[in-house]
Amino acid sequence: MITIAIANQKGGVGKTTTAINLATALAATGLRVLLVDLDPQGNASTGLGVSRDQRDWTSYELLIGEASLHHCTRETGVPGLSIVPATVDLSGAEIELVNRDRRSNALRDQVENATGFDMCLIDCPPSLGLLTVNALVAAASVLVPLQCEFFALEGLSQLLQTVERVRTRFNGDLSILGVALTMYDRRNRLTDQVSDDVRSVLGPIVFDTVIPRNVRLSEAPSHGLPALIYDHRCAGSAAYIDLARELIDRLPTEEIAA
């Protein structure tokens, strides 16, 4: 199973929207995908139609070792896509894990031997705390959604430093899979400037595909659906399909084949 953490400590950058729709697009290619909701807000769970009363076993129980991955995983309405949902209880996991041995490996210990899935995406919280560290330790690579706004690069260096520390101390195989530009508005000249600046600084690490500002992307979660199902013809859905293709192209061929 290929595990990818979707992380950015800044909120409102389209992280959960990316997690939901990228997971859906990957599942549409025939891959068996697991989405782990590691954000106490539980927005990825809500966005995939998992109601609060359907979250008996969650990523909280998974992290503190009260339940296995099998017990916490539930199917979604998207064929080929399953989820480990989250609730606000997850916010207490960081406190409970602090004094435990291997506290940074809690998620990895649960998912590293998972079977039945080709790919696992982890939707991280908007912080660089113990939950995000657990995701980075468990993952093979990191995908960073980056909003096309004035402060786009602010804080990115901190995230990259955290990735480097995790690579040095816990997970020597961790890499940056790519940076995805989100909320791109062609009508706004600043957007083009930000995009150019990000590409000049980060180079080929930035995906060619950009995710546009799109009303249908914003509406879809309120219906408990990914945008790709809510309106597969909208510009946002088309962009996530393209991003999924580009992501697959960046993965080692032998990993996909396996």
Q: DSSP letters along 129-141, please? A: SHHHHHHHHH-SE
For 13, residues 6+ apart whose C-beta sits below 8 A from its C-beta are 145, 146, 147, 182, 183
Domains of the chain: total: 1
**Domain assignment of residue 118, yes or no:** yes
Q: What's the average model confidence in pLDDT over 18-43? A: 96
- Predicted TM-score (pTM) of this structure: 0.93
Confidence at 255, pLDDT banded by 50, 70, 90: low
- pLDDT at 254 exceeding the cut of 70: no
**Domain assignment of residue 257, yes or no:** no
**Domain assignment of residue 226, yes or no:** yes
Structural tokens at position 257: 């084949």
pLDDT score, position 95? 87
pLDDT score, position 198? 87
Tell me the residue ranges of DSSP E strands in 129-255.
Answer: 141-147, 175-184, 206-212
**Domain assignment of residue 258, yes or no:** no
Using a pLDDT cut of 90, give the percent of the chain over it. Answer: 68
Residue 182: strand pairing partners: 147
pLDDT score, position 258? 46
Residue 210: strand pairing partners: 181
pLDDT score, position 100? 84
CATH of residue 145: 3.40.50.300
Cα within 13 Å of Cα(113), Cβ side:
4
Q: Average pLDDT over the chain, rounded to whole? A: 90
Nearest to 243 by CA among 79, 35, 6: 6
Q: What's the average model confidence in pLDDT over 104-123? A: 92
Q: Which domain holds residue 234?
A: 2-252
pLDDT score, position 99? 84
- pLDDT at 152 exceeding the cut of 80: no
- pLDDT at 222 exceeding the cut of 70: yes
Confidence at 121, pLDDT banded by 50, 70, 90: very high
Least confident span in 48-57, 61-70, 173-182: 48-57
| Rg of the chain taking only CA atoms, in angstroms | 17
pLDDT score, position 257? 46
